[in-house]
Amino acid sequence: MNYEQVVKTLWRHGGGQLPDQAARLKELIRYATLAPSGHNTQCWRFHIAEDAITILPDLTRRTPVVDPDDHHLYVSLGCAAENLSLAARALGMQGEVTFHPEGAGEVRVTLAPCHPEVSPLFEAIPARQCSRTDYDGSPLADEELHLLQAAGTGHGVSISLLTEKKAIEKVLEYVLQANGRQIANAAFRQELEGWIRFGEREAVEAGDGLFARSMGSPATPRWLGRWLFRALLRQGAENAKVARQVRSSAGIAVFISAADDRAHWVEAGRCYQRFALQATALGICNAFINQPVEEASVRPAFAEALGIVGGRPDLVVRFGRGKAMPRSLRRPVEAVLVPTSTACLKTRDTPPARRD
């Protein structure tokens, strides 16, 4: 299949009656894999039991430069768990999400029969995306902001919505500072390049990573895309683009955990996913601007500037109205299934093969 055909196959609601419980559970995992992950690494594996689905961290898909403590990895597991829980309810199963910290940790979604409920957030799952583009600058209605606030709040996780120009500019100051440090870091550039899929064929074959067109760049053969990436990725140009995009947004959401541990990171992922799905249901775009929480040297000053005491700023997200962008892709469900709930792949500090 070509890129457009794969997109239609992936980003959809299920059709028709599922024949048995095994098919229903695999369908839940398909919805879970439509969640976001850093660089679209899809850093998860799933184990199916009779009454539960366990989400395991796939440590072979770490991004140790941009995410050295695996914070974003566990956030991604939370995003997947929220999708799975919403899909379970739509298929007549109540999903109770718990985090188990033993070893590398795992997120368990325990399932029990319930009356089916198709929520607006579930309906939004196939339409959700990170829209890395300019927005139209129009403000949101108070009711829309209230809905986003409610969706993005959880157990030990709060959300701060910033819509005043002065507050947005203050956040932008730290975004640009951290972005400049990342662009200047050769290891960061190499890691990012390794996860970009420059052409449609490459994107389809890999089923993961950041498709160049989803970031506003043209699709090219890999050899040309790498050359352009290395030639054009410069601090001045990137900061100018980021500043323009932030200033085109209606506001910025900052997700804040009460404690800096994996359980709260997972919960932050669940909160972000509900926020993103609620935004999608309202016709509102969003995109991460996580640079100031990714750079350890910037994060404390960023937290202090926002008045955060005793917690961790987890995620920074801009939101507003804009256009849909081309999609990044996903691996098939069979590629993310594992036979045991205790399996956890061996850590490695380099991206998977297929980078050249």
The CATH number for 256's domain is: 3.40.109.10
Residues facing residue 56 across a β-bridge = 45
pLDDT the model gives residue 17: 85
Those residues of the chain that have pLDDT short of 50 are 341-356
Residue 226 counted as domain residue: no
The answer to the question of residue 176 being in a domain is: no
Answer whether residue 236 is part of any domain. no
**pLDDT attached to residue 16:** 78
For residue 307, give both structure tokens: 């008045």
Q: Report the pLDDT value the prediction gives residue 340, as an integer from 0 to 100.
A: 53
Q: Is residue 224 part of a domain?
A: no
Q: What is the pTM of this model?
A: 0.94
Give the total number of structural domains in the chain. 1
Closest of 196, 182, 184, 203 to residue 229, by C-alpha: 196
Residue 227 falls inside a structural domain: no
User: 234-256 burial by CB neighbour count: b if 16+ within 10 A, else e?
Assistant: eeeebbeebbebbebbbbbbbbb
- With respect to residue 211, please indicate whether it lies within any of the assigned structural domains: no
Alpha helices in the chain, H assignment, sequence order: 3-10, 21-32, 71-90, 120-124, 142-151, 165-183, 186-194, 200-206, 222-232, 235-247, 262-281, 291-294, 299-305
The rounded mean pLDDT for the chain is 95
- Give the model's pLDDT for residue 159: 98
The pairing of strands 210-211 and 196-197 is parallel
177 assigned to some structural domain: no
What is the predicted pLDDT for the residue at 214? Answer: 97
Query: Is 90 part of a structural domain of the chain?
Result: yes
Residue-number span of the structural domain to which 268 is assigned: 3-168+246-336
* Residue 100 phi, psi dihedral angles, 5° rounding: -120, 115
pLDDT for 273 equals: 99
